Amino acid sequence: MSNIAGLFNYWVVIFLMMAGFFVVISQGNLVKKIIGLSLFQASAFILYISIGHVSGGEVPIYVEGSNLYSNPLPHVLILTAIVVSVSTTAVGLAIIIRIKETYNTVEEDEIQIIDNRKDDEDEPVEEEHPAEQKEDQS
């Protein structure tokens, strides 16, 4: 019984992780994929913090006369990881915006279809790219 209570956290984390993973591999929309990735990341954070938790321990801020603290190391790792994750998410979203502007869709299947069509006939590619560059310079 104590086993179940002690491992319950991990199981929920695994469930959440798999939910994120499922979104990433099964959904076609790129924005939704990014959201799934974020879900996955958030659950990985929970896993780390769960590992660092010490029952009866205190917040790792030194107080006179107390000597049982939670492990500060996972907190440090995850603190920086959260900020890094938002930066990477931002880069991913930026790429999605460019994909939308080039292909006019964010659905994976449609992008693939357009890509295949471009491989067959190279003309549309040549037409599309100068237009993009002009927009950048303006």
Partner 1 sequence: MDIALLAMLCVTAIAAIRIRDLFAVTMLFGIYSFLTATFFLSLDAIDVAFTEAAVGAGITTVLMLATLRLTGRYERKPKHNIFIPLIVVSITGAALVYGTLDAPLLGDPNAPAQQHVSPRYIEESPKEIGIPNMVTSVLASYRGYDTLGETFVIFCAGLAVIIILGIQDSGEVHPGRSAIGDQLVLRVVVKVLLPFILLFALYVQLHGDYGAGGGFQAGIIFASGFILYDLVFGEGDARLIVPPNFLKRLAALGVLLYAGVGLYSLFNGKAFLDYSALSDNPTSAQHIGIFLVELGVGITVFSVALTIFFAFSGRAQITVKTDRRPPL
Partner 2 sequence: MLFAAVVAIIVTMGLALIRACLGPTAYDRMLATNMVGTKAVLLIAVGGHALGWSGYADIALLYAMINFISSIAVMRFFEYQKTLPSQEDE
Subset of residues 31 to 90 that bind partner 1, contact rule: CB under 8 A: 31-32, 34-35, 38-39, 42, 45-46, 49-63, 67-76, 78-80, 82-90
Distance between CA atoms of 59 and 73, rounded to whole angstroms?
12
16 versus 118: smaller Cβ distance to partner 2: 16
Instruction: Report the residue from 14, 51, 54, 59 that binds partner 2 according to the rule CB under 8 A.
Output: 59
Distance between CA atoms of 71 and 51, rounded to whole angstroms?
9
| Eight-class DSSP state of 117 | H
Site map (CB under 8 A) of partner 1, residues 96-125, x = contact:
xxx-xx-xx-xx-x----x---------x-
Q: Computed from CA positions of residues 78, 84, 87, 93, in that sequence, does the dihedral angle turn out positive or negative? A: negative
